[in-house]
Amino acid sequence: MSLYRPPRTQSSEITPREVYLSRRSFMAGTAAGLAFAASGTALAAPLAATPSAYKVADKLTPKQDVTTYNNFYEFGVNKSDPAANSGDFKPTPWAIEVGGLVAKPQVIDLEKIMTEIPMEERVYRMRCVETWSMVIPWIGFPLSALLDRVEPLGSAKYVAFETVVRPAEMPGQSGFFQPLNWPYVEGLRLDEARHPLTILATGLYGETLPNQNGAPIRLVVPWKYGFKGVKSIVKITLTEKEPPTTWKNSGPSEYGFYANVNPAVDHPRWSQATERRIGEGDGLFGGRRVDTLPFNGYADEVAGLYAGMDLKKFY
Ligand code: MTE
């Protein structure tokens, strides 16, 4: 498992000195630090982030659980597979192609944009469609900040996302059994994408995003089921029509495009009324049961986006 992304040679030139020092303070100027950078040895690089108003008061899920109980089918279908099988994945350098219905299509260098857009820490409740939940301190920036740079055209109504395809580094993409079609794709309506709660995360618990959690950059939309949170994003495309999404493609009667957390709309095979808080109570596979809240507790902020829509139909 590699928690550390070595900086590229030009990092110190393009990064303001204070930011560079706070992010890399453990290694600044030392020969040992440079040796670590060159070898990519697993190290936790602290990320500088400004505090944000978006913090729920719920007890945090222990980092150990957040980083070992995952869904990331590119590395296998079991919860422990992503942590066990993602060690060879190389999240640096990283570029995201942003295009489609925009005035300024561009290829964005992640290391560069992370120094240009202020990073924030946000503590979000996360609810998986499989009825477990976690409370995670993310580090990231609003997706809207990235969208502003490409200037969406008036005709753009949706945002489509794509995960990287690298069978050589992602064993779930190369094995005999292929559980999904690759790339994993997701989408949001443009107003959902622009909502201030919607972020692109590059870290958690003050550190660079671990491979198993979607390194180096993944989507986080706290009022939707976890499968909307597409990981290791390489492409973002603004479209006029609703884009295809992986789980809706694989089981349209079970998973919809909207995927808003809704205790009143059951999954065809199980209830969504309650959830299991991972890491609380009886160990990893136990967990305290709590009631699931409409929009995962973010109704005040986001219910207005769906005014007049039948949420049983648009699940
Ligand atoms: N992104 C990709 N590329 N592949 C996946 O299999 N799984 C999704 C989502 N993003 C997945 C993905 C699902 S089902 C969930 S619940 C969340 O990632 C889990 O995120 P976590 O492991 O960081 O908790």
Residue 284 has pLDDT above 50, yes or no: yes
Average the pLDDT over each of 57-71, 189-203, 280-294 and give the range with the smallest value: 280-294
Q: Strand pairing partners for 159?
A: 188, 238
Residue 226 has pLDDT above 80, yes or no: yes
CATH superfamily of 12-258: Oxidoreductase, molybdopterin-binding domain (3.90.420.10)
Task: Determine whether the shortest distance from the Cβ of 231 to ligand 1 is under 6 A.
Answer: yes
Residue 176 pLDDT:
86
- Residue 44 has a CB neighbour count (10 Å cut-off) of 14
Per-domain boundaries in the chain = 12-258
* Mean pLDDT taken over the chain: 87
Kind of pairing, strands 199-204 and 207-208? antiparallel
- pLDDT, one tens digit per residue, over 177-201 is 899 999 999 999 999 999 999 999 9
Percent of the chain clearing pLDDT 90 (strictly above):
78
Task: Determine whether the shortest distance from the Cβ of 226 to ligand 1 is under 6 A.
Answer: yes
Residue 251 pLDDT:
94
Question: In a mutational test of the pocket of ligand 1, which residue from 68, 69, 165, 231 has the highest number of ligand atoms less than 8 Å from its CB?
Answer: 231
Task: Take residue 244 and report the two structure tokens written for it.
Answer: 């295809």
CA 232 to ligand 1 center in whole angstroms: 10
What is the mean pLDDT of the segment spanning 105-123?
A: 96
From residue 184, alpha-carbon distances to 86, 106, 170, 218 in Å are 16, 21, 13, 12
CA distance 43 to 48: 16
Q: Strand pairing partners for 260?
A: 224
* 4 three-class SS: coil
What is the mean pLDDT of the segment spanning 81-94?
A: 98
> Which pTM value belongs to this model?
0.87
What is the mean pLDDT of the segment spanning 104-113?
A: 97
